[in-house]
Each structure stands twice: as structure tokens, then as C-alpha cells.
Amino acid sequence: MDGLYGDLVMDHYRNPRNRSPISDADIEAEEFNPFCGDRATLQLKLDGRGNICGVSAQAEGCSIIQAATSMLCDQLQGKSLDEVAEIGERYRLALRNGAEGESELGDLRALQVVRQYPVRIKCALLPLTALEEGIKAYREKTG
């Protein structure tokens, strides 16, 4: 994986952001890839208005899942859950069609390089799946 985007992926892989666990998280989710055993675990803390005020992200496994987990969680601070859903949709589209002009995706744009390796798209989507499942469970719990 070469170039600026490849460098960004390796930077998040080697120096993942937001690793510290949250002891009183409102949203917790884990997603597991049964084919390789890799997993992404996310925790979110919400403030009184329902915006994200704390993020924790842990991933075990390949460089792509680790970088994707770090990059995704980097985009969540201060966002509402509806804004998170929009980021998720844009990210999914970027993995399919490319991310030109998607500045609000931040470093996540770099993962469009995974389009060259279609079998790795699942690695890049695993943290998003965890996030979506966690938000769904939270909404069901809190109504």
C-alpha cells in the first residue's frame, strides 16, 4: 500500500487513537470476523444532549481493521448519533466508489485504497458494523 493514503493507514495501525477504555460507557459494541478471528471493540460516552463526548476503540487483527477502527473513532467526538449514521453511510460509499470530495470523512478517506483489495473491504467495515450494532442496541434500550 503506497502513497499518502497508505502512509495514513500505517500511521493509524502503528499509533491507534483513542485506545483508553471507558469505564461507564453508554454504548458498547464488539464485532468479530469469524473467518480470521479479528475483532473491533468500541465504547462511546454521550453527554446530556446525546452527543458523543468520549470514544474508546480497540482492535485486534490485521492492519486494515486496526487502522479502520482508529480512523472511524477519530471522527466521532462531538457528533450526534444521527451524524454518526451519516458518516457511516458516506464511509460505506467511499469504500465502494472512492472518497473524492468527502472531506468530512477525515483520515477515513485513506481506506478507499482498500478498493484495490476487495477481500479486505470486510476488514475495513468491521468497526462500522460494530458501531451500528452498538447504536441500535442503545436505541432499543433507551427507546
Which residues form the interface with ligand FES (CB under 6 A)? Answer: 33, 36, 38, 61-62, 64-65, 123, 126
- What residues have CB less than 8 Å from 76, skipping those under 6 apart? 44, 52, 55, 84, 87, 131
Minimal distance in Å, beta carbon 123 to ligand FES? 3
Give whichever of 83 and 132 is closer to ligand FES, judged by the CB atom. Answer: 132
* Measured CA angle at 129 (ends 98, 86), to 5 deg: 55
Query: What burial class does residue 4 get, using C-beta atoms within 10 Å of its C-beta: 0-12 exposed, 13-18 middle, 19+ buried?
Result: exposed
As a whole number of angstroms, the distance between CA 44 and CA 128 comes to 13
Query: Pick from 72, 67, 65: which is nearest to 37 by CA?
Result: 65
Query: Pick from 14, 64, 69, 21: which is nearest to 43 by CA?
Result: 21
Give whichever of 84 and 124 is closer to ligand FES, judged by the CB atom. Answer: 124
Give whichever of 11 and 83 is closer to ligand FES, judged by the CB atom. Answer: 11
Minimal distance in Å, beta carbon 60 to ligand FES? 9
Give whichever of 64 and 76 is closer to ligand FES, judged by the CB atom. Answer: 64
Give whichever of 52 and 128 is closer to ligand FES, judged by the CB atom. Answer: 128
Q: Region of 55 please: left (phi>0), alpha (psi -120 to 50) or beta.
A: beta
Minimal distance in Å, beta carbon 53 to ligand FES? 29
Minimal distance in Å, beta carbon 66 to ligand FES? 9
Minimal distance in Å, beta carbon 105 to ligand FES? 20
